[in-house]
Structure 1
Amino acid sequence: MRYFLLLVACGLLALPTPTAAQAPVDPAELQTTRLSSDRPGSAQTASARYRYWEANPNSLRQVLTKQRADTARLRTLMHLVDVDPVWSTTKPQVEETAELAVLSARLQRPEQRAYRLLASGNRLYQSKAVAAALDTLQAAVSAFDRLGRPVPMLLSALRDLFSELNLLEARGRYFHSKLAYYRQRDATENMAPCHHGLGGYYLGRGDYNQALSHYLQDVALFGTFNRVYSYTQLAGVGGRYAEWGNTERALHYLQQAVAGLRSYRGDLFYAYKTMAEVYLQRQEYPAARRALDQALLPPTGKELYPLVRKKAYTLTLHSAVLLAQGHIAEARPLLQAAQHLVDSLGIPFYSGIGSLELDATWARYYVAQDNMARAETHWLAAYGKAQQSRIKPLRLAYLRELTRFYQQQGQPGPAARYAVSALALADSLDAREGALHVARYEIEQATEAQQARIARLRQTQQQDAARARRQRNILWAVLGGAVLLGGVAAALYYAFRRSERLKQLVTEQKQDLQSQRDQLDTSLTELRVTQAQLIQKEKMASLGELTAGIAHEIQNPLNFVTNFSDVSAELMLELQEAQLAGDGEEVAALAGDVTENLTKIRQHGQRASGIVRGMLEHARPSTGERKPNDLNALCDEYLRLAYYGLRTKDAAFQAELQTDFAPHLPLVNLVGADIGRVLLNLGSNAFYALQERQQLGEAGYQPTLSVRTIQLDRHVEIQVRDNGMGMNEQVQAKIFQPFFTTKPPGEGTGLGLSLSYDIITQGHGGTLTVESKEGHGTEFTITLPV
């Protein structure tokens, strides 16, 4: 029941149900599929809309070869440009857009400037001037916008050009602004690729929740005019869920995508390729190989991806499957063939098909061959390409692989560097409980669907009650008439039986309504459980705040180890010279110095190890066991970690930390990791407020954070005060509510203070209060029983 509601909410059930394969469109009929006006966004029936946007470009080209009149060729070329992917900038397509620009100018069409820019952008891309092509195609989109003409394929091309140039933030800004513009005008065809572009933007930032929400909206919108693209994008949703760790949900969507694409003669390569990756992730190798075999079957409809690019991906994935099965020798010729295709054709590392992980597969092959030097070269090459493409999930995966690789090689230095880098990314990409990951968009849409159903049931209940009242009134009228007529026995008997039937009907309806209400209560309970699980995982977000601070703290002992190691090496050289000179007293003195240096190296190494153990202790799920803790030390440690965390993001930021710790403060029984999360959250919020006020440029302003501990009768009190932006009374009233935040979208979940309030009040029997004055600062006060 829950999956049905989710599908309805996402608009997936609004897609036509795949039944039998549809016959291809006859080229002679293609001109009748054109819309009633030259603008494809004009009013039309659903079937005409599908026929227009799902037209096969090759069939349109057949029609074009038979046309001679300028007007007829113009209409066919306009249709062709509307439905053919712009990113397949082959030579014929460049010539088509060039002819379209000439014809539109000759016939004085209002779109002539837009088509001239489109043709220019295609030529620039063909000549490898990608940045100039992006600027020109953006200008073409603006020109089409002024005419109100939808261009979903052109917007999809911009998405890929942003990726090719690694302009992640520019991509986010562009599609955010375009989506707002098209929403105001209800331009469905253009909203769909904007959602897809934003999905890729949030994916690059590692925010799978936002990414999948946009991808699902992209699927729903494409389903209203192009079912082939809708199911192709649905396959992408499956791939993203697999990367997020939820392989069950990934296969659920991929199987839907395969069925839909097969029904509407779409290109099945991407869906089967992604399905093979999921099966490889699940270690279901026979299923992965079957999916790869299906991926290379020629499509019955239009082909979205070049065949050579498909071969490069399938050869790489076949090699990965063989390596996972232990067939090392069989993998090498496949890898060589894939490498030849990549080198000769210049196939990029990342494209609309996904990431081509050829270097990573080579690295695994050389590890299996015990050729660690070449394996290291390929791992570093793979990580470098992931960095260039700015794909956070792939960067994290390769950082972890490099950490394991150097650990196995007994190289702790590089292993530690890559481990710290991996921790810095892990806060937004924690997929250890991926089976529970469900996009927030699905939960919101399912909740709305359930609320609508509840409203309908309540309306039905009210209608039934009104009907019952009317029926009772009729009964009393019949009974009154019977009394007035002298009590006809037959009429009374009939009325009695009718009354009994009505009562039984009302009782049955009440029971049915109660049963439906119970089912709804069960569904809502399940949704609340899922939400509680998501909130619990949000607690791990504080791990990211610690990462930067830990990196700062661990750098000092590592520097000491390096310095003392260098000094010891020099002392050993001097000791050898003293031995050769026969100076026994000097040899003994130098040996003592070396021993002292080694002792210091051990001390600082143990300090670094203690910092790492503390980090792991913070990341481990809380057991709820209370232990005596030094509250002063906790405050000092976590607030400084919060400060160093912000300093790594903004090195120019400086703040004064003032501490006033009560001497002889007794040890307090508490869960140290939980109180640490609270202090880390309060400190992070305070430094964020200080940074905001500092950016206003007030003269003489000095950012200051003060921490004070006080021993009361049977309580201890912690005061965290800043002189930042402060809050008004309306914000203070909501500050501890779940999901409430004053930060910009993407910078805060709104769960930090809510969880902190629960930890203090429910977990430790204390209080957490706030006092703030807008423009002057904020003070949080924690009281804990001793």
Structure 2
Amino acid sequence: MKLFWPFIPLIAALVLLVSPPAWADMLVRILLAALALLGVLIWTRTCRRPRSTGGQRLEQQLAERTEEAHNISIALEETREALKSTQEKLTYSSRMASLGQLTAGIAHEIKNPINFVNNFAESSVEIAAELQEEMGKSEGLPEDFRERTVGLIDELVLNADKIREHGQRVNRIVQSMLVQSHGTKSEAEEVALNEFVDQYVSLAFHGMRAQVQDFNVDIDRRYDEAIDSLPIVRQDMARVLINLLNNAFQAVNKRKEVTDREFLPQVRVSTVLHEAEVEISIEDNGGGVPQSLQKKIFDPFFTTKSAGSGTGLGLSLSREIVVDGHNGQLRYEQSDLQGARFVIMLPLAGMGGGAQE
């Protein structure tokens, strides 16, 4: 605007000096219009003068401080979550250490009497065999007495064999408990898969019955007879099976309690031989996992159980054992039984083959 003021006297002089007829001249009109336009441009530029450098610097510093505060807030929240996770892990580790000591004590207490059971079962078989031999040597015994006695001896031998078989099974479970309680890493070994799976189906069922006296469930066992043996870490895979089976039994029991007392709990356990891998699936009719939570079920410390009923680490550790420890896969699917279905895929080549998930 200040630049415009010196032109005003000149414009006024032109206006005074030019005779009235000249006002009609087109060039004068153009000149006056140009001067007026110039004045307007100068006035507009003056009004739009940029803010001071000091104001811009202040706004920039304020924006930077706001961004720093936001980043600090995010970092603090992440640190808080990390500390919470670490605390939960330490608490879990402490509980597991105590549980390991308790398990080791119980296993030792069980191991001693079960050894006596196994030894006496073997001794009974040997004594029965000797008795049969003596019966064969004896003469003058009534034939009907001999037949009855031989039949009873055969039955005793059969019973003793069953006692020895199940005693050895208990011994393997106890040995597995001891290995897990000591936390030692074991090597993979060839395991008859169907027998192995069925063993832990029975173990998990009786464990559930010990907790819930009236618990009952229809267990549908579908084992592929074409499956022979598979190299696995026995105690690690046992933990996976026990965890998945416990989840299935607890899910169907909960549904029976909260919905319909006439509801029939069902659990299906199956093995299937594929071209390069073996499938183990455990499914139930307990309702399954809501769609919104299915992506989180393998996250550490995530659980759908009530407080104190679960640590939220079972599925996370199971997946770690299957994927990292056995080079396999563990996934969740919706079962056609209207419940959950967990599928374990293990490579036939063992822990060194197959594609990781």
Short-chain TM bin: 0.5 to 0.7
Structure 1 or 2: more helix by fraction: 1
Specify which of 731, 738, 742 is matched with residue 304 of structure 2. 742
Structure 2 Cα separation of the partners of residues 673 and 747 of structure 1: 23
Shift of 1:649: 2.3
Which residue type is aligned with residue 732 of structure 1? Q
Cα–Cα, structure 1 residues 584 and 755, in superposed 2: closer, same or farther, change >3 Å? same
Which residue type is aligned with residue 757 of structure 1? R
Secondary structure class of the residue paired with 1:654: coil
1:476 counterpart residue number: none
Shift of 1:687: 0.6
**Does residue 232 of structure 2 align to residue 670 of structure 1?**
yes
2:170 counterpart residue number: 612
Shift of 1:768: 0.8
Structure 2 Cα separation of the partners of residues 645 and 528 of structure 1: 27
Q: How high is the TM-score relative to the length of structure 1?
A: 0.27
Specify which of 694, 699, 704 is matched with residue 256 of structure 2. 694
Shift of 1:677: 1.2
Whether the 8 Å contact between 1:692 and 1:725 is mirrored in structure 2 is no
Whether the 8 Å contact between 2:188 and 2:233 is mirrored in structure 1 is yes
2:161 counterpart residue number: 603
Shift of 1:685: 0.3
Cα–Cα, structure 1 residues 744 and 541, in superposed 2: closer, same or farther, change >3 Å? farther
Structure 2 Cα separation of the partners of residues 726 and 644 of structure 1: 23
1:679 counterpart residue number: 241
Which residue type is aligned with residue 661 of structure 1? Y
Shift of 1:670: 0.7
Which residue type is aligned with residue 302 of structure 2? F
Indicate the percent of aligned positions where both proteins have the same amino acid. 29
Specify which of 188, 201, 221 is matched with residue 659 of structure 1. 221
Aligned Cα RMSD in Å?
4.2
1:441-486 CA-to-partner distances (Å, cap 9, x unmatched) read xxxxxxxxxxxxxxxxxxxxxxxxxxxxxxxxxxxxxxxxxxxxxx
Whether the 8 Å contact between 1:738 and 1:751 is mirrored in structure 2 is yes
**Does residue 282 of structure 2 align to residue 720 of structure 1?**
yes
Q: How high is the TM-score relative to the length of structure 2?
A: 0.55
Whether the 8 Å contact between 1:617 and 1:673 is mirrored in structure 2 is no
Structure 2 Cα separation of the partners of residues 676 and 733 of structure 1: 25
Secondary structure class of the residue paired with 1:678: helix
Structure 1 or 2: more strand by fraction: 2
Once the two structures are superposed, the pairs formed by residues 168-317 of structure 1 within 5 Å of their partners are none
Q: Which has the higher contact order (CA 8 A, sep 6+)?
A: 2
Cα–Cα, structure 1 residues 751 and 653, in superposed 2: closer, same or farther, change >3 Å? same
Shift of 1:647: 1.8
Shift of 1:613: 0.8
Whether the 8 Å contact between 2:226 and 2:273 is mirrored in structure 1 is no
Which residue type is aligned with residue 161 of structure 2? Q
Aligned length: 237
1:752 counterpart residue number: 314
Shift of 1:627: 1.1
Whether the 8 Å contact between 1:719 and 1:782 is mirrored in structure 2 is yes
Which residue type is aligned with residue 201 of structure 2? L
Structure 1 Cα separation of the partners of residues 163 and 199 of structure 2: 19
Shift of 1:679: 0.7
1:290-344 CA-to-partner distances (Å, cap 9, x unmatched) read xxxxxxxxxxxxxxxxxxxxxxxxxxxxxxxxxxxxxxxxxxxxxxxxxxxxxxx
Whether the 8 Å contact between 1:690 and 1:724 is mirrored in structure 2 is yes
Specify which of 294, 297, 309 is matched with residue 732 of structure 1. 294
Cα–Cα, structure 1 residues 602 and 734, in superposed 2: closer, same or farther, change >3 Å? same
1:237-293 CA-to-partner distances (Å, cap 9, x unmatched) read xxxxxxxxxxxxxxxxxxxxxxxxxxxxxxxxxxxxxxxxxxxxxxxxxxxxxxxxx
Q: Which runs of 5+ in 2 are unaligned?
A: 1-82, 129-134, 349-357
Which residue type is aligned with residue 783 of structure 1? M
Secondary structure class of the residue paired with 2:258: coil
Greater C-alpha radius of gyration: 2
Cα–Cα, structure 1 residues 666 and 599, in superposed 2: closer, same or farther, change >3 Å? closer
Shift of 1:589: 5.4
Shift of 1:676: 1.3
Secondary structure class of the residue paired with 1:733: coil
Structure 2 Cα separation of the partners of residues 695 and 527 of structure 1: 34
Shift of 1:724: 0.2
Structure 1 Cα separation of the partners of residues 102 and 341 of structure 2: 21
Cα–Cα, structure 1 residues 610 and 743, in superposed 2: closer, same or farther, change >3 Å? same
Structure 2 Cα separation of the partners of residues 762 and 635 of structure 1: 20
Whether the 8 Å contact between 2:251 and 2:286 is mirrored in structure 1 is yes
Whether the 8 Å contact between 1:728 and 1:772 is mirrored in structure 2 is no
Q: Which runs of 5+ in 1 are unaligned?
A: 1-522, 569-574, 576-581
Secondary structure class of the residue paired with 2:185: coil
Secondary structure class of the residue paired with 2:343: strand
Shift of 1:759: 0.5
Secondary structure class of the residue paired with 2:216: coil
1:585 counterpart residue number: 142
Structure 2 Cα separation of the partners of residues 661 and 533 of structure 1: 36
Shift of 1:740: 2.3
